[in-house]
Amino acid sequence: MKKTLLLYFMLLSGTVLFANGVSETSSNLKKPVSVSITFATGDVTTKEAIHTIVQNFNKSQNLYRLQENLSISTGAYLDSLKTLNASGQMPDIFECRDVPVFVRAGMLEPIPQDLQTLFETTIPVYGTVYTAPFVAQYPHIILYNKTLFDKWGINENPKNYADFLKICDALKSHDIAPMAAGVADIWHIGFLFNYYLTQYVTHGDPDFISKIYKKEVKFNTPEMIDAMSKLAYLFQSGDMEKGFMSTKENELVGLLAGEKTAMIFTGSWTITQIMEADPDFKIGCFPVPDEKGHVILNGGATSQGWALTKAAAQNPDKKAAFNAFIKYFFSKAQYTTFLKTTNSLPTTKEKMVYDTTPLMGTILKLNNTLPKTLMWNMGVGENELPPSYRNWTYKKVQELLMGQITPQQLVQAMDDQWVISIRDFNPTQLVKSSL
């Protein structure tokens, strides 16, 4: 009789469990689905902000567990992803920057339409949207030590490029390096390279790269030589801190807070790092104008963002995890904190309202009033750079900064390498390739 009653209660319990949609194979009892995720680690503030959201997501539910699979490399992010892929460690979800490269390799799953509707702008690649963009491009500006500027009577923002150089001269007279740059991280020199290219060569033309393909323009021009001469001058005249070749981007805050330099040319994400290093530090900012006083900021929507690999999408649970993570990441509670922490610009249709500092308010005003254009390597379609051409160029720029080649040699080498790089590459055609 006791065995009969025990069996009865076991069956009854099972009936109740199944009646409520819960069983040993249901999501409430089974082990959470493990999903790997990776993102760029060069910017410490953004890295930590994303890490926090990943941890919050894991705590918020029991269905999925995101496992961070990060590269410790300070080199090019794409190279880190190639290494992960070659070693069989390609993550399921990742921050995708070189989107066309991965599309041609057949590695990306399209973004579902319900996720696309979250964003004000999405950028299709070969007609399909593959990424959920988590920030618009940051404007690159000068951040400076306002205490030193006030102390030495440097009270006005430069009205033109000559004024900017005068500020550098004034700072040098007080035995401090006017600027510092993290050239040891190859991508960091791209900020200044892009500034001079944009201000003096492309003048914000979004189709400049496509005109290179069509042989309507080239790099070896008087304008480009002049732009690269200006860039080289900063590093060879004493305007730049001397250890730039061994300085990493994440060391710039220490140099600025420690009064080893007075200015850095960077994005607004660095503000958080400065304030964490010294809460009392007074930061000023200004964009660098050209000789006529014109400024074209870096900014706008790009194709970069969160992506799901096609391999991971074959698993319905991992696909569901991606959808859940995207909705969580861009929820108001998480996304506003991310934007405030990283001083970033939103991409969502939903307006993200949060308190910001007067400094960030100034930067947002600049971003909303000045003309903007994407960095030269952010184009898609006919404006996409050949694979590896950006990093090849930045390595040659490093040679320029060290005085190993002249501006004329640099731009001629860029044209010569372009011919080699495009031999088997047509960015307007979706031709499958390997990563």
Q: Which CATH number does the domain housing residue 69 bear? A: 3.40.190.10
Which is nearest to 177 in space by CA: 285, 252, 79?
Answer: 252
Q: In what order do the strands lie in the sheet with 261-267?
A: 177-180, 261-267, 140-145, 283-286
**What is the radius of gyration, based on Cα positions, of the chain?**
25
* pLDDT digit string, tens, across residues 134-186: 899 989 999 999 999 999 999 999 999 999 999 999 999 999 999 999 999 99
- What was the pLDDT predicted at 1? 39
User: Is there a single domain that holds both residue 122 and residue 245?
Assistant: no
Instruction: Report the C-alpha gap between 346 and 119 in whole angstroms.
Output: 9
pLDDT grade, residue 72 (50/70/90)? low
Residue 20 reports pLDDT greater than 80:
no
Q: Are 67 and 195 found together in one domain?
A: no
In a shared domain, residues 152 and 243:
yes
Those residues with Cβ within 8 angstroms of residue 192's Cβ, 6 or more apart along the chain or in another chain: 181, 231, 234, 265
Band of pLDDT at residue 429, cut at 50, 70 and 90: confident
17, part of any domain = no
Q: Are residues 105 and 185 in the same domain?
A: no
What whole-number percentage of the chain has pLDDT above 70?
92
**pLDDT recorded at residue 352:** 87
* pLDDT score of 73: 55
* 313 and 279 in a common domain: no
**Considering the domain boundaries, does residue 319 fall inside one?**
yes
Over the stretch 227-258, which tens digit does the pLDDT of each residue have? 999 999 999 999 999 999 999 999 999 999 99
Q: Per-residue pLDDT for 14 more than 70?
A: no
Tens of pLDDT, residues 399-412: 999 999 999 999 99
pLDDT band at 75 (very low <50, low <70, confident <90, very high): low
Question: Where does 248-309 show beta strands of DSSP type E?
Answer: 261-267, 283-286, 297-298, 305-309
The pLDDT score that the predictor gives to residue 41 is 82
> Is 13 a domain residue?
no
Same domain for 39 and 131, yes or no, is yes
358 assigned to some structural domain? no
Q: Are residues 128 and 81 in the same domain?
A: yes
Q: What is the mean pLDDT of residues 108-136?
A: 95
Asked if residue 146 is part of any domain, the answer here is yes
What is the span of the domain harbouring residue 306?
31-137+301-353
| 3-state helix vs strand vs coil in the chain, percent to 5 | 45, 15, 40
- 281 shares a domain with 197: yes
What is the model's pLDDT at position 419? 97
3-state SS, residue 257: helix
The answer to the question of residue 434 being in a domain is no
Mean pLDDT score across all residues of the chain: 90
Is residue 180 in some structural domain?
yes
Pair 219, 71 in one domain: no
Q: Is the pLDDT of residue 2 over 80?
A: no
Give the residue-averaged pLDDT of 411-427: 96
The whole-number pLDDT of residue 71 equals 62
pLDDT band for 262, please (50, 70, 90 cuts).
Answer: very high
**Do 293 and 325 have their domain in common?**
no
Evaluate whether 367 touches 296 at the Cβ level (below 8 Å): no
Please report how the helices 44-60 and 332-342 are oriented relative to each other, as an axis angle in degrees rounded to 10. 160
Domain shared by 236 and 177, yes or no: yes
pLDDT digits (tens, 9 = 90+) for 311-342: 999 999 999 999 999 999 999 999 999 999 99
Spatial strand order in the sheet of 108-109: 64-68, 33-38, 93-96, 305-309, 108-109
C-alpha–C-alpha distance, residues 339 and 334, integer Å: 9
C-alpha 376 chain-centroid distance: 13
* Domain contains 175: yes
Q: Are residues 312 and 387 in the same domain?
A: no
- Phi and psi (nearest 5°) for 356? -135, 170
Question: Residue 434: its pLDDT value, please?
Answer: 86
The DSSP element (H or E) to which 209 belongs, if any, is: helix 208-213
Q: Count of domains in the chain?
A: 2
Average pLDDT over residues 6-21: 36
Residue 138's pLDDT is what? 87
The per-residue b/e assignment along 371-392, b for 16 or more CB within 10 angstroms, e otherwise, is ebbbbbbbbbbebbbbbebbbb
Question: What's the pTM?
Answer: 0.83
First CA to last CA distance, the chain: 68
> How do residues 186-208 score in pLDDT, each as one tens digit?
999 999 999 999 999 999 999 99
